[in-house]
Amino acid sequence: MSISEKKQAWQSQAEKSIAKAPERRTSFRNSSDIEVERCYAPEFDYPGYEEQLSFPGQYPFTRGVQPTMYRGRFWTMRQYAGFGNAAESNERYKYLLSAGQTGLSIAFDLPTQMGYDSDASMSRGEVGKVGVAIDSLADMEILFDGIPLDKVSTSMTINSTAAILLAMYIAVAEKQGVSADKISGTIQNDILKEYMARGTYIYPPKESMRVITDIFAYCKDNVPKWNTISISGYHIREAGSSAVQEVAFTLADGIAYVEAAVKAGLDVDEFAPRLAFFFNAHNDLLEEVAKFRAARRMWGRIMRERFKAKDPRSQMLRFHTQTAGCTLTAQQPDNNIMRVTLQALAAVLGGTQSLHTNSRDEALALPTEESVRIALRTQQVIAYESGVADSIDPLAGSFMVEALTDKIEAQALAYIEKIDALGGAVEAISRGFQQKEIQDSAYAYQRAIEKNETIIVGVNKFTVEEGAPQGLLRVKEEVEVNQKAALAKMKAGRDGARVESTLKALEQAAKGTDNLMPFILDAVKSYATLGEVANVLRGVFGVHRETVVL
């Protein structure tokens, strides 16, 4: 098919999309009164165009997963938030929604992420510190009080306890009168990257993969609008990987999840349309744009050629982006505003579906409301004032961007071939392959900074004398005391026999082969705590011990 024929097919596809959901404006003209086209492309046959680039919404999706992209609607603007107790976080979410945020992104504290209640000895000193403390359905009810879950899309950064938090979210929605088939959002639910880069795992890989595939199967039938996994390169990059490693290791994890689901008896086109990805946006703007385009093209080919997915939605790499926390500096924190702006611009030019922008003070503390507002306004200025969202994939055809896209793809595919040769992502992680590659990359980057080969403004060049930072957000120590008291009160008032019954049923299901989600849902509805549910599974599955990489 020639370029002109493919363009005609794309235009027809775009018009159908516009008929269902009109574009943001009837005319896209710039200050010089020049009409900005929906999508620019060569008018002559371009070698490799059909195979490498194509048009937005067409395989292999290099130029975007939707035929109209941001001409139809902007990306979802999220701010990752959560601290202290559920009531405090609820206030922050309502503030963000009133400021123009279009989706919620929930940060949980470390005990919640690790499957411990706030009164556990392991939780001491960590309750509410890096996210909100959630011990039971009672906390989840407070967290979303006054927030209609049929109107808001919610992303939850949760992995080893993802099934429990999803069950609580479903239960809260039901209490609001919203059925599970009406809620939308994402759970991260990506345990493999925890083993290689982040560390908030509980169970061994095999058992963790069972929980994940149970979530896939349950949501396919009961929560069809939910993205059941957000396969995350973000934390791989935060741990020190390169852009190529971020793409390679993330897609290798994606391959492992698809293989596990197919092995569990699911048809690829039944669950793959609900897979989502989560990437980092780093400082090198053009490298990042190329990274997103390469990842999209690679996943399209992997799903079509390796897994024989027939549904185009199964071949689409839809992704959320967060700006790079690891690039933020405690020195001259206002410089972080510029860093975040560049990173957010890269995500938008790369075609992200949703975006979180970090706040300027996050290298020092949890962000203040003022800092969060600046971060959100950064997205809004890019969306409404920069013009980059008026045409799809505006950097396509740039010699540099296309060359970088091709090279990132080639190098990432070479990594995936190495991982395949080791037996796949799970086996490679057990051998410490990805961990060592990330560690080597992180070490090289740090050495380059120390030798002034890589300049970090305000850190190793253009430094100034600074006083102690002012106006930082502090989580009060009484948060932990109050959370424990509320937990004790909840336990005293619940039906203990019902809790024990639901936990026993979960234990028997875990020992067998039944899907665990209905049993977890029954347990949280009885007000069994997150720690109690996790402990049942610990008792059956055991716990994972970290691989030491020498």
Share of the chain above pLDDT 70, in %: 98
| Rounded Cα–Cα distance for residues 90 and 103 (Å) | 13
pLDDT of 238-257, one tens digit each?
A: 999 999 999 999 999 999 99
Query: What pLDDT is recorded for position 54?
Result: 84
Exposure b/e, 373-382, CB count within 10 A at least 16 = b: bbbbebbeeb
Q: What is the pTM of this model?
A: 0.92
Query: What pLDDT is recorded for position 79?
Result: 80
Average pLDDT over the chain, rounded to whole? 94
* Mean pLDDT computed over 433-454: 97
- Asked if residue 188 lies in contact with residue 198, where contact means CB atoms within 8 angstroms, the answer is no
Burial level of 493, CB count in 10 A (0-12/13-18/19+)?
Answer: exposed
Q: Helix crossing, 162-175 with 530-541: angle to 10°?
A: 140
pLDDT of 465-518, one tens digit each?
A: 988 788 887 777 889 999 999 999 999 999 999 999 999 999 999 999 999 999
pLDDT of 272-311, one tens digit each?
A: 999 999 999 999 999 999 999 999 999 999 999 999 999 9
* Mean pLDDT computed over 226-244: 96
User: Kindly report the CA angle at 514 between 512 and 515, in degrees rounded to 5?
Assistant: 135
For 327-455, where are the alpha helices, taking DSSP H only? 335-349, 369-385, 399-421, 425-430, 433-450
- Asked if residue 92 lies in contact with residue 81, where contact means CB atoms within 8 angstroms, the answer is yes
Q: Residues near 436 by Cβ (< 8 Å), separated by ≥ 6? A: 549
Burial level of 285, CB count in 10 A (0-12/13-18/19+)?
Answer: middle
Domains and CATH numbers, the chain: 69-426 (3.20.20.240), 485-541 (no CATH)
Phi, psi of 278 (to 5 degrees): -140, 115
DSSP letter string, 295-321: HHHHHHHIIIIIS---SHHHH---EEE
* Mean pLDDT computed over 22-49: 87
User: For residue 178, what pLDDT band results from cuts at 50, 70 and 90?
Assistant: very high
- Could you tell me which residues are beta bridge partners of residue 277? 231, 319
Locus of tokens 């997963």: 65
| Rounded Cα–Cα distance for residues 426 and 256 (Å) | 7
Q: Indicate the range of 84-88, 465-469, 523-527 predicted with least confidence.
A: 465-469
Phi, psi of 49 (to 5 degrees): -65, -45
Query: What pLDDT is recorded for position 50?
Result: 61
The separation between CA 310 and the C-alpha centre of its own chain, rounded to angstroms, equals 25
| Rounded Cα–Cα distance for residues 331 and 280 (Å) | 22
Q: 43 or 148: whose pLDDT is higher?
A: 148
Of 402, 401, 445, 413, nearest to 248 (Cα)? 413
CA distances from 19 to 35, 76, 351, 451 (A): 21, 21, 22, 57
**CA within 13 Å, CB half, 310:** 2
DSSP label at residue 548:
P
Structure tokens at 128: 């509410």
User: For residue 547, what pLDDT band results from cuts at 50, 70 and 90?
Assistant: low
- Asked if residue 359 lies in contact with residue 374, where contact means CB atoms within 8 angstroms, the answer is yes
Task: Find out whether the peptide bond into 60 is cis, omega within 30 degrees of 0.
Answer: yes
48, pLDDT greater than 80: no
